[in-house]
Amino acid sequence: MRWLPARAHDNGVFILFSNGVGEDDGEVRTGNAMILDPYGRVLAETDALDEALVIADLDLDLLPTATGRRWIRGRRPELYGLLTRRPGHELDPREARFSTAPVLTPDAPA
């Protein structure tokens, strides 16, 4: 769960995370839940290997000054076009998730 605080901070948003419990299509879901603030601080979490509920008060006054929100003003939309082009080696999401093949780089032959 180390990536959750980074995503909350990067995007300047509250994150409410929940995970299933038990076996799901060959993977074990651990059932942990977490609430994070826009600075990546954990407000509430559970590590129960069972169903559980977490509750936290959200301080909306944190949103206007959150680092991730300030960075949105420095974005460069003119560079986003590269992200919308199909390079030709796309996989459907499930295939991408479970693929063991190395990820192709732009310079590598397909």
Q: 36 with 8: CB under 8 angstroms?
A: yes
21-58 as b/e: b if 16+ CB within 10 A: beeeeeeeeebbbbbbbbebebbebeeeeeeeebeeee
Residue 17 backbone phi and psi in degrees, to 5: -115, 135
d(CA 19, CA 3) in angstroms, rounded, equals: 14
pLDDT, tens only, 27-49: 888 778 899 999 999 999 987 77
Give the pLDDT of residue 37: 97
Q: 29 with 23: CB under 8 angstroms?
A: yes
How much is the pTM?
Answer: 0.68
